[in-house]
Structure 1
Amino acid sequence: MKLKVILGDQLSHSLVEEGEEVLMMEVRSEATYVPHHPKKIAFLFSAMRHFAKELQERGCRVHYIIYNSPESKGSFRKTLDAFLEGKGYEEVAVIHPGEWRVLEEFKGYTVLEDPRFFCPPDEFAEWAAGKKELLMEFFYRKMRKETGYLMRAGKPEGGEWNYDKENRKPLKTKLTFPKPLFFKPDRITQEVLELVHKEFPDNFGDLEPFWFAVTAEEARKALRHFIEEILPHFGPFQDAMLWEEYYLYHSALSQYINCGLLLPEEVCDAAEEAYKLGKVPLNSAEGFIRQILGWREYIRGIYWLHMPDYKELNFFEAKNPLPDFYWTGKTKMRCMEHAITQTKKEALSHHIQRLMVTGNFALLAGVDPKEVCAWYLAVYADAYEWVELPNTLGMALFGDGGIVGSKPYAASG
């Protein structure tokens, strides 16, 4: 008799075989280790509950421990140990967690490789071994060759690996910006919204309106909407900002990919197919695929290569506290006000806002990296430490001294 533990960022049917016995847990330590945005908590709890229901419909035996129930003992380890009392399982396995501290909680149990990534940590470590400096661009080329995405006869489609030179156009207000696909909360989500409203009334962020997809079926609809309506315009304007708009031509899919409702492979497949059919220009398809196949995989590799010491790095010895306006949005700096207000409303913002607005200010102001990283981890629905920490500490703050970024991204008017 075997038991498989499925975590909140592992909501992929490919991880569970039909008939398997599964344990899923909503625990206080995960909901409170940083003051998570209420929308993030609601998104994950609802997606988890929908996933458990779908597993049951597939014939799996699912044990689901809800938040604040007597069976939920506060942490993964305590809840799991209590659940296992008297059960007699031959093996208890967990898919490799996405965060170091969670991996530590499952010491002594079988840890299975997470097959949803293109590059396992040991493969990344092998690629990095002996190199004086790691560059994402070279890693990205390696991944293009191995996967075959946008390749023709062993060479990059169009003759170039990277089309960033075509992707820095300024935006104009006369352009039309399609919105992400919004979904109406069902009964399960409504129950979760009531729970989150009751349990986390003072957390930063607006719980409603809640519009996220909470199932793989809904997430795939959001993906199709992005591919058909938005991706054709993504490339040229991916690094731009506009005061009146939140999403511009960004996908708003990262929270679905990072929790497992969408697989990186199916997202890249969809973008490549749209290019092959002539529906998306090469610079847009390449720029989008690079974010997933290149940057996302690279950041995960950096995290597992350098943890746990990576978290303690502070190259500039920055020690100033995080300003209160990161939690209120009340500041005379218009760009900061806009980015933080959007974050408060949506639990999302695009990468330029995170890097060159909120991140750039924290770098210039010498804010303690641990406080900045905790903020990013708390306020974004797509944030897990493996992806948040290297992006924030390394890319935004240069706190790792150049492991991720080749130079500090600092700018001031």
Structure 2
Amino acid sequence: MSAEQRLIVVLGDQLDRRGPLLDDLDAARDAVWMTEAVAEAERGPVHQQRLVLFFSAMRHLRDELLARGITVHYRCIEDAPVGAPEQGLADHLRADIARLQPGTIVMMEAGDWAIEQSLQDVVRESGVTLQWHRDSHFLASRESFARWAEGRKTLTLEYFYRSMRKRHAVLMEGDQPVGGAWNFDKDNRAAFGKDGPGELPPHPRFQPDATTRQVIDRIRERYSDHPGDARDFHQPVTPDQALQALDDFIQYRLPHFGTWQDAIWVGEPLLYHARLSTSLNLHLLDPRDCLERAEAAYHRGEAPLNAVEGFVRQVLGWREFIRGIYWLKMPGYADANALDHHERLPSFYWTGDTDMVCVADAMAAVLRHGYAHHIQRLMVLGLFAQLYGAHPYAFHEWHMALYLDAVDWVSLPNALGMSQFGDGGVVGTKPYCASGAYIGRMSNACAQCRYDPRQATGERACPFTTLYWEFLDRHEERLGDNRRLQFQYRNLQRKSESQRAAIREQAKRLRGRMAADPDHRERN
């Protein structure tokens, strides 16, 4: 490269063809730099399909750019010898700057604080000019969120969500929300009856092309001992496929999405959920397209308001809110551990081997699809980890390794913050703690399980219920004054000291059995 040329750094979650990195490419002036993050897989077990998703989506963009006559400097998994010393993105960029001698490095806001800092440090050390871009994929910039948050004692999603609805005129009639209410969450908590969900619309499956099949073969050769099966990969890997997946959701599942979004049914992990988060988080799909198509479906009478508003709240509200929290609170946020939890995750978080039906069912979804819907994440797998006392950052690391859609900005506040209450109330005002009775209400799992969600002690005691009461007992001094936990603590206080002691002993034995599991595979 000559000194006046630009080297454009494109990361694995920055694959937006219309974004600021790629919107004005000049084949005579620009070259693109991309590197498959092999180091992530070398550090520990990662879902095989997660690696396929990122590497295949990156290679499809690479091939599109090459077809346009753009020079692409691309490092792939085949370039990294098995067992070679681990090298990260920053190491590769440093070496390629020295080799290529570009005049300018072009970068965009990353989805990971540590990666962004390390790459910026490399450019700074090299003395090369840095051209920096805001990530226009998101509707709220880091700066606008910081301005919204400034001076607020608490950061509440509902107020942020309303401001975003107004600013972007989504589901609005003038300055008022369509339907006269901002939030229809109360209509979105139904559980299936005893006959279950009935016939469900099939989810789209995208058959791997030659590029994806090549990645699948490489992953199976190199990481056969990692969780999941690369051969069952059928995710979108291009923007066209992502739009097909969006249109399929809008037509076949959005009409029922809202009502059943909190329901669980054993053996049906996908239900009416969108499964668009992988495409959104890799920037294959623009959130504006999601909002426009969902709102249009409502105005055409093809989807009810509770479903459309619930979807809009996830895309325009929660997703943007979580990203804002991440960049507002990093880097210290990653060290938060408000409940002082330090347990290692039980081995069934890697194997799915447990006799708790709800956990086994959720883990079967994770291991097969690299996915479980938000209630399984929060109120089954996340809930058990919290009650068990798992270290919140270890839970985040597990989430990053096993879920296809996980990127640091979205995983950390969701896993460490909302799920584990590691941030002490930044994301949520109380821990999402519940007994097995909640799972019994929202699913058919308990009817098939050897454990009784009504029992906290004894042979049939539900581990969720045991650990729920022990969690409240253990954290009474820390959480007893939380106004949103007053009902739970009044119920705890009705228990005698002998009952509480028996629950503590049951929890101790439970943790002892799980900690002694010989198949422990935790990364922490």
Shift of 1:276: 1.5
- From 210, 227, 230, the equivalent of 1:204 is 227
- From 183, 191, 204, the equivalent of 1:170 is 191
Aligned positions of 1:7-406 closer than 5 A: 7-15=11-19, 16-17=22-23, 18-19=25-26, 20-69=30-79, 74-107=87-120, 108=124, 109-172=130-193, 173-406=196-429
Equivalent-residue separation in structure 2 for 1:48 and 1:215 (angstroms): 9
Runs of at least 5 residues in structure 1 that lack an aligned partner in the other structure: none
Instruction: Please give the root-mean-square deviation of Cα atoms over the aligned residues, in Å.
Output: 1.6
Moved over 3 A (4+): 30-34, 70-73
| 8 A contact 1:34–1:374 mirrored in 2 | no
Identity of aligned residues (%): 42
Equivalent-residue separation in structure 2 for 1:57 and 1:93 (angstroms): 21
Partner of 2:322, secondary structure, is helix
Partner of 2:258, secondary structure, is helix
Aligned length: 413
Runs of at least 5 residues in structure 2 that lack an aligned partner in the other structure: 125-129, 437-524
| 8 A contact 2:93–2:119 mirrored in 1 | no
Q: TM-score, normalised by structure 1?
A: 0.97
Shift of 1:280: 1.1
Partner of 1:237, secondary structure, is coil
Equivalent-residue separation in structure 2 for 1:377 and 1:86 (angstroms): 32
Partner of 1:62, secondary structure, is strand
Shift of 1:42: 0.5
| 8 A contact 1:377–1:388 mirrored in 2 | yes
| 8 A contact 1:42–1:192 mirrored in 2 | yes
| 8 A contact 1:96–1:114 mirrored in 2 | yes
Shift of 1:410: 0.4
- C-alpha spacing 1:30/1:14, structure 2 compared with 1 (3 Å): farther
Structure 1 letter corresponding to 2:370: A
Deviations 1:302-346 (A, max 9, x none): 001111100111111011111011111111111000001110011
Equivalent-residue separation in structure 2 for 1:86 and 1:352 (angstroms): 48
Please identify, of 198-207 and 5-14, the stretch whose mean Cα deviation from structure 2 is larger.
198-207
Q: Does 1:2 align with 2:6?
A: yes
| Bigger CA radius of gyration | 2
Equivalent-residue separation in structure 1 for 2:271 and 2:101 (angstroms): 53
| 8 A contact 2:382–2:415 mirrored in 1 | yes
Shift of 1:59: 4.0
Q: TM-score, normalised by structure 2?
A: 0.77
Larger relative CO (CA 8 A, sep 6+): 1 or 2?
Answer: 1
Structure 2 letter corresponding to 1:318: H
Deviations 1:106-161 (A, max 9, x none): 12244321110011111111110111111000000000011111011111111111
- C-alpha spacing 1:9/1:403, structure 2 compared with 1 (3 Å): same
